[in-house]
Homo-oligomer: A and B are copies of this chain.
Amino acid sequence: MTESPSRVEAFSDGVFAIAITLLILEIRIPHGEHGLWEELLALWPSYIAFLMSFVVILIMWVNHHELLRMAKGVNYPFLFANGFLLLTVTFVPFPTAVLAQNLATAEARTAVAFYCATFVANALCWNLLFATMVRGGLLHQDVTEEAVSKVRRAYYFGVLVYVAATALAFIRPVLGLLLNVSLWGVWITLGYRAEASASSSRS
């Protein structure tokens, strides 16, 4: 372990901030030829896709934040595991745009499945990153065994639910999306608990 996580944190924050802001470029600008109001309403799949991806990247940023607070330092494998995680984050605008373009068409199944599959890859990267932290001895001494296994269970669980959402999307795309969204609650609670325990252990 060689140094504090501050520069990795800054770089990761930059990537999260840019990816979340690029999402808006996915929405096509209507030109009002068929009535601007109707055209704006017809963009509802874009608004849903934008909103979903914005919230999920925001949650990921918060959790990345909490995860790095567990680390006393970073090593070389960590930089690359974190890089792969960021790869899946920068990829998000693409499946988001695919979802927006195809949610209201006969191809909704494929679009939703592709969207959910992106988060399977993302969830695997969170597992990889955490494993790198545990194996490399990068965790603070005050992180308990119990906290480690709680994070690990939540991350395994995330992979399973995203796989289920991907499979469900082929049958009922709307249910696949809803299952995907339902994970927000899990991540928010996880982060909330991590933060509460960090606060209490410090006070």
| A residues whose Cβ falls under 8 Å from a Cβ of B | 1-2, 7, 9-11, 13-27, 29-32, 35-37, 40, 50-51, 54-55, 58, 61-62, 65, 75-76, 79-80, 83, 86-87, 90-91, 93-94, 97-98, 101-102, 105-107, 110-111, 114, 188, 191-192, 195, 198-199, 202
Bound CA–CA A46/B55 (angstroms) = 27
Which residue of B has the minimal Cβ distance to A22?
B21
Chain B residues whose C-beta falls within 8 Å of the C-beta of A195 in the assembled complex:
2, 75-76
- Shortest A88–chain B CB gap in Å is 10
Name the CB-closest residue of B to A192: B76
Number of copies: 4
Interface of A is mostly: helix
Chain B residues whose CB sits within 8 angstroms of the CB of A80 once the complex forms: 58, 62, 188
Residues of B within 8 A of A14 (CB): 13-14, 17-18
